[in-house]
Copies of this chain bind each other. A is one copy, B any other.
């Protein structure tokens, strides 16, 4: 008796070990489907049915892994943010020349922001920001705000080294971030331009941003 486990028991045991919605593969699978559907349709127009189908999972399973539609969406946003932040700040950590660091950071930022999913995420989060202010705030704080803060910290270092002369590095960082996107991000966000900017465009705009920034905050060397 003890030698043979009937299938039923095996299942019972393995079930006991599991926590609700803890199969990472299935979770991943669901998020992939959700990504596709939310991206294509926006929050409200995306149906749990579509998501279940896109994820190749039953509708019920969705609710095993995520409390409801909103939680699923938030989890997706969080995953995507983490995924995309990777490598974003390397430009600031390495030790190239100051202008080169800014150029690398700026163009990385623009590439990140103008890619389709980042745009979708922005649109969706902004679209629900009124109803779900916490989601909006969190998205802002962990995304754009954090980017500016890291850049500000970088600028602080360079001010300390007397390579830059900046009173308010927080503002300066925001200025640079905005300059780098000038002309490129907004029309994409409104869907008025359907293709990501070319590398040449990025280089030109970021180049101008660096030039302007240095002219304002750069320290002239004798």
Beta-carbon contact of B41 and A186 below 8 Å = no
Q: How many residues of A contact B (CB 8 A)?
A: 51
Rounded to whole angstroms, the CA-CA distance of A141 and B179 in the bound complex is 20
> What chain B residues lie within 8 Å of A191 (beta carbons)?
129-130, 133, 136-137
> Which parts of A153-186 form the interface with B (CB within 8 Å)?
168, 170-171, 174-175, 177-179, 181-183, 186
> What chain B residues lie within 8 Å of A133 (beta carbons)?
191, 194
User: Nearest Cβ distance between residue A88 and chain B, in whole angstroms?
Assistant: 17
A220: CB under 8 A from chain B? no
Interface string of A28-55 (1 = CB under 8 A from B): 0000000000011111110000000000
Beta-carbon contact of A183 and B190 below 8 Å = no
Beta-carbon contact of A140 and B192 below 8 Å = yes
Chain A interface (Cβ < 8 Å from any Cβ of B):
39-45, 120, 122-131, 133, 136-137, 139-141, 144-145, 168, 170-171, 174-175, 177-179, 181-183, 186-187, 189-192, 194, 205, 208-209, 211-212, 215-216
